[in-house]
Chains A and B, each alone.
Chain A
Amino acid sequence: MPALRHPAAAADNMALVKRAEGRLYLAPLVGFLLLFLGFPALLNLLYSVSTVSFETLRSPQISGFGNYAAALTDAAFWQSVWFSLRFGIITAVSECLLGLFLAIFLKPLLSARPVLMAPLMLPLMVAPAMVGLMYRLVLHEFAGPVPYYLFEWFGDSPAFLDYANAFRTLIVIEVLQWTPFAFLLFYVAYIAIPEDVHEAAALDGATGLQRLWRIDLPLMLPTLTVAFFIRFIDGFRVFDNVYALTGSGAGGSTTSLSIYIYQAFFKEGAIGKAVAASVVLFISSLLVLYGLNWLSARRKR
């Protein structure tokens, strides 16, 4: 490096070099993202405004916004959006509440025996499609343990997957698998709260419940929001376990938005409409993310 006359210029030069180095390190990641996310995204946008079929997959013809109109006027599209919305919100709320309860309730046990965290994380390790197939067996009236014991103890077992119960069953399965995720986030946030804050509160005469409500929860609020948002997005996008367990459901009753896109693409061969629906999904997710960011920025001020 050439000799420098001024310390400030030296600092500037260092910063310049660091930025160039930084860009070099980032280049492979950016390249990877551009190739595997950027290119498909652009292709998606192109297909969403074209007329294309499986035979003409490599030669789409631009035809305007007809695909968007087809998707947005399709009753099945709105039915699937409604399913995904309900599923996403209910599972996110349930998982967060349950996770929060477990984090607070299990803290003494886990502080004493941290190794018990591992079995609690096991549900997260199973692929969602596997979970769907597993429950197909577990809930089968003749092959599964759950109906078997229900018949033994109560003489009857509900129809877990019929039209009336399928939604509830899917919610329970999703919550059972993903609550450990919320639990982990909340537990880490909970134990990060410094003890002297609790001591000070105790000195001031706060009861356990007041401590929880006035101190712990507000301090954990950023984690709560993030966990809720992540679980909601995952629940909204659900595909694997629902499809493996009930498919699109009797009369299409368990068709989530992802399943709708899959059906439109592969079963109907309506590639343009499916891609248009996926672009709508993408834009709405972006809007939700942007909105949440804006809210948290406002709060910080």
Chain B
Amino acid sequence: MMKFKHISSAVLALVLSAAALPGLANAKVVVLGWPGGSEETALRATTDLYNKTAADADKIELLFFNRDGFFDKLQADMAAGSNAFDVNLVATYSIGRYAPYMEPIELNADAPKVFGDAVLKTMQFDGKQYGVPTDLSLHFMYYRKDLIDALIADPDAKAKYAEISKKYLGKELAPKQPDDWTWDDWAATALYFSKQVNRQSPVRYGTVLQMKNLLFNMMVFQSLPRSYGGDWTDASGNVTVDSDAYKTGLTLYKTLYDAGASPKDSLSYEYAETNAAYSSGQAATALQWNAAAAELTDVKKSPVVADVTGMVAPPAGPNGRADHIHGLGLGLNKNARNKEGAIKFLKWLSSEDAALAYARAGGSPALTPDVVTKVAKERPDLVKLGEFASKYGYVMTGATSAKALSVYELQAKEFTGYWSGQQSLEDALAHTKAGMQDLLKK
């Protein structure tokens, strides 16, 4: 009797577990997206829309881990031939690194009309299309309209402003509207609005510098040297990170940090900390990703600053204005379990309806002028996004190569070493140049 019980329970267990197995295969398409922030919210909303009309076998299941270490985990998974996801995130600066593990895809026939060729190129490597460009990232200079207007209207304030700019920047400047700023104007404004420099400042800090040892912070920083003519390499492939452009940019950040124009913990600041500092109302400006626009102008999320925040492109240098751009997108994993479902989804995602739904849900696709007018009311920042991308967008020479991320990491380590006072500017640039020569050699 006991033996029968043993055997029958074992058989039952086997039957149950076997029944679970077919359920695991091909019942869905797993999409690994960019976690946290507007990209996640928008992807969730868009896939909900897709799942309403999709067949059961094509339904999307989303997978997120967290931003810290995201690319390392993705690299490890892809190197191991993981099939845990069918579609994965890909970014302009990492296509070279992940292309060996992905398959080129065919987009919706409408895609060039929806995104434009320049934006589609942010998802291309070696002439092939590796992803649907779901979000374009660039930077806005966020600023407090009320503070700037008050500054410009007050003659005493203007005098103080001129005095401060003369002391720290060597020349007397007059306050201007942010759209007309040069980097020096921005620096002078940041110094004016810092309590440590100017006791009468209505806010504690003039700006929020993102100086954590993090590769993304280098993308925020490098528009400054770029507008002075800086680049990673020149046309012949020589590393030019020790140029005057870079020296000017690095020194400006250090001057501002040392003077107290940025929060004291700026050396540990990145995206989230910057938003918290700016939305507390105690910072006058912040050079920050466009993805923060939704949060910083939302009355519910940032009640103190939502109604008085303006956004313009980063200030101009002698070579004009520059705004770092890169694209985030979704592409096909070579080891995907459900390739047909994945391809179907990606084709749909590159259509106009999907792009507009994505935009309405908070995502930031760069859309052609004809298409973006359809969401211009809900998302005025997307109009700016498209405009800035086409007018000022740049990609540093070598920033799409296989070792691009390692270059950013190296710059982050060396530049933050200089900013924190651990090494001189010359040493930092020498180390960076040597490292970049190694990483970028063909």
Q: Please report A residues at the B interface, Cβ cutoff 8 Å.
A: 54-55, 57, 136, 139-143, 158-163, 166, 243-253, 262-263, 266-269
Contacts and interface: CB of A to CB of B under 8 A. Distances in A.
Interface in B408-442: 409, 413-414, 416-423
B212 interface: yes
A160 to B, nearest CB: 7
A132 to B, nearest CB: 10
A251 B213 contact: yes
A166 B268 contact: yes
A142 B416 contact: no
Interface in B74-93: 75-76, 79-80
B218 to A, nearest CB: 13
B422 A159 contact: no
B199 interface: no
Nearest to B403: A269
Contact of A250 (B69, B267, B406): B267
B238 interface: no
Contact of A140 (B213, B265, B418): B265
Contact of A142 (B268, B277, B413, B423): B277
B263 A141 contact: yes
Given A247-B268, A251-B413, A267-B409, 13 more contacts: A54-B76, A55-B79, A57-B79, A140-B276, A143-B276, A163-B421, A247-B214, A250-B267, A251-B420, A262-B72, A267-B72, A267-B405, A269-B406
B277 A162 contact: no
B267 A266 contact: no
Contacts of A263: 409
B142 to A, nearest CB: 15
Contact of A161 (B72, B267, B405, B419): B267
A142 B276 contact: yes
B380 interface: no
Which of A142, A162, A166 has the largest number of chain B CB atoms within 10 A? A142
B282 interface: yes
A246 B406 contact: no
Contact of B213 (A141, A142, A252, A266): A252
Contacts of B211: 250
A149 B45 CA distance: 40
14 contacts: A55-B79, A57-B79, A140-B265, A140-B276, A158-B264, A160-B265, A163-B422, A245-B268, A250-B211, A250-B267, A251-B413, A251-B414, A251-B420, A267-B405
Contact of B420 (A247, A248, A250): A250
Interface in B57-101: 68-69, 71-72, 75-76, 79-80, 100
B80 A142 contact: no
A251 B416 contact: yes
B180 interface: no
A246 B68 CA distance: 12
A55 B100 contact: yes
A269 B76 CA distance: 10
A243 B100 CA distance: 30
A57 B212 contact: no
Instruction: Enumerate the 3 nearest inter-chain pairs by beta-carbon distance, A residue then B residue, closest first.
Output: A251-B417, A159-B264, A266-B72
A267 B406 contact: yes
B423 A251 contact: yes
A268 B420 contact: no
B273 interface: yes
Which of B80, B213, B406, B421 has the largest number of chain A CB atoms within 10 A? B213
Contacts of A158: 264
Contact of B264 (A55, A57, A141, A245): A141
A54 B214 contact: no
B8 interface: no
Interface in B387-419: 405-406, 409, 413-414, 416-419
B280 interface: yes
Contacts of B273: 136, 140
A269 B96 CA distance: 14
A161 B420 contact: no
B422 A253 contact: yes
A250 B266 CA distance: 10
Interface string B239-275: 0000000000000000000000001110110000100
A166 B421 CA distance: 14
Contacts of A248: 213, 413
A54 B276 contact: no
A67 B226 CA distance: 37
A142 B266 CA distance: 12
B418 to A, nearest CB: 7
A274 B268 CA distance: 25
Nearest to A159: B264
Contact of A141 (B69, B71, B277): B277
Which of A141, A161, A166, A252 has the largest number of chain B CB atoms within 10 A? A141
A250 B416 contact: yes
Given A163-B420, A266-B72, A247 B265 contact: no
Contacts of B264: 141, 158-159, 162
Contacts of A249: 213, 416
Given A251-B418, A252-B213, A143 B280 contact: yes
B422 to A, nearest CB: 4
Contacts of B276: 140, 142-143
Contacts of A140: 265, 273, 276
A54 B403 CA distance: 13
B38 to A, nearest CB: 20
Contacts of A267: 72, 405-406, 409
Contacts of A55: 79, 100
A78 to B, nearest CB: 15
B280 A250 contact: no
A253 B409 contact: no
A163 B277 contact: no
Interface string B193-224: 00000000000000000011110000000000
Contacts of A142: 263, 276-277, 280, 282
Contact of B406 (A54, A139, A262, A268): A268
